Structure 1
Amino acid sequence: MKNIYQKLLSIILFLGITAVSNVAMAQNNPLEAYRWHNRLLLVFVPQIEDERLTKIQQTLNQVECEFQERDLLLGVFTSNAPSRIGNDSISSYQEAQLRAKYGIKSNQFAVILIGKDGQSKNQLSEVPEIERIFGQIDNMPMRQQEISNRSNSCN
């Protein structure tokens, strides 16, 4: 009987350590919550009024359905306005973590495509052509599977 209790205690400790580890990982990686759920298009701009951000937002408004069809969320990071990914606020600490991770200074412009696996797929220093981003996503194995499993609702 004592052996069963020891095994049960070991399992409980393992599950507790795993849960704490997962919470710590999510705190250390602001993108962890989106992993396996969304692709991210992260836009880093010096100021919210940056014309490159405006151009990206205008383009995305024109292709909103295609953007959503690919499970994409837009992240905007700037020093003079609250940073966000989709509808979620990103703290200045989390923004600093991301800037450090991708080597982006506060006065730089950058666009980063993050796959559902949480990995960077592309990093650009200019406004991307959205069709090229969509093409890159559509060639990803996970997206190929999504295409075969669901109908295109944007036609």
Structure 2
Amino acid sequence: MFARSLTLAVLLAVAGPLLAADGDTPLAQERGKSRPLIIIASSSVDPTLVTLKKSLDEPANKEAFAKHNMVLYTIVSLAGQRNGKDMDAQSTMALIRELKLGVLDKNQAQVILVGKDGEKKIDHKGAIDPKEIFSTIDQMPMAEKEAAAPAPVAPAAEPKSTPQGGKPGKAGKTAPAAPPAGLDD
């Protein structure tokens, strides 16, 4: 009896974090907030990775990248980064699993754009021009573009009190609001 309980406790202790991590993957955290651009390369000197990162650092592309509400994920030899900051191994592996990549080509980098809705919009092997990425985003339906953009709310105006009576400077009672015109029961 004790052996079964111990075995179950060990299995839960090992499997618990793995199951929790699947629901809290990097792409799930980005869904509805931003558009992940993921570059997967076999080495840090991969021409696609170097060229794309350099072109994204240009002022015009950097501005367009921010305007399109994007984040950059890079995975180089199973080491992941999000916007230049290292990710832990568990998050990197969860990202790779969520992308369902299959067999990777070690000779060519892969560039993936994921929309705010969580769907792959671009899955490209080799070099790609940032303008092509931005034009793909611009062609997306408005519903996807505004997936998480809440409508701005105008602040409510406070009712103003009007002075009544003969004493200046003192506020009296406010008049009841008249019902809006054209609304009949």
Number of equivalences: 126
How far did residue 122 of structure 1 move? 1.3
Q: Distance in 2 between matches of 1:90 and 1:125?
A: 23
Alignment CA distance shift 1:104-1:115 (3 Å): farther
Unaligned runs of 5+ in 1: 1-20, 150-155
**What amino acid does structure 1 have at the position aligned with 2:32?**
W
- Quote the residue 1:143 is aligned against: 145
Unaligned runs of 5+ in 2: 1-18, 152-185
Among 84, 89, 114, the alignment partner of 1:92 is 89
Among 34, 37, 46, the alignment partner of 2:33 is 37
CA deviations on 1:41-90 (whole Å, 9 max, x unpaired) are 1000001121221100111011100110000111100117x411225533
Q: Distance in 2 between matches of 1:86 and 1:34?
A: 13
CA deviations on 1:84-130 (whole Å, 9 max, x unpaired) are 12255333333334334122537352000000111111100011111
Larger radius of gyration: 2
Where has structure 1 moved over 3 Å in runs of 4 or more?
Answer: 21-24, 96-100
**What amino acid does structure 2 have at the position aligned with 1:143?**
K
Higher helix share: 1
TM-score by length of 1: 0.68
The 5-angstrom pairing of residues 11-22 of structure 1 reads none
Q: CA RMSD in A?
A: 2.9
Q: Percent identity?
A: 23
The structure showing larger relative contact order (alpha-carbon pairs under 8 Å, at least 6 residues apart) is 1
